Amino acid sequence: MSQLDLGKHFSSASEQADRPQRNHWSAENLPEPIVPYTRAAIAGIQAGRVYTELGWER
């Protein structure tokens, strides 16, 4: 069994400062642009639907 390489799992504060920030937005306040299928999926989830179709003509 090999030892766990902690360098792969932990980073220093200076290394973290160089990484892009991950932001979290509420579903009502998403940044633009949002692709249409993502917007439709979020709206469907908020409406309680478990399945949403977009772009399929009948």
The residue-averaged pLDDT of 12-31 equals 75
Unique residue bearing structure tokens 């998403």: 30
Residue 22 sits at the vertex; the CA angle it makes with 18 and 25, to the nearest 5 degrees, is 155
Q: What is the pLDDT of residue 13?
A: 63
Q: What is the pLDDT of residue 57?
A: 74
Q: How far apart are CA 39 and CA 31, in angstroms?
A: 11
Q: What is the pLDDT of residue 56?
A: 74
Residue 2 has pLDDT above 70, yes or no: no
Exposure of 37 in the CB half-sphere (CA atoms within 13 A): 5
Question: What's the pTM value of the predicted model, to 2 decimals?
Answer: 0.52
Residue 9 has pLDDT above 70, yes or no: no
Q: How many helices (H) and strands (E) does the chain have?
A: 2, 0
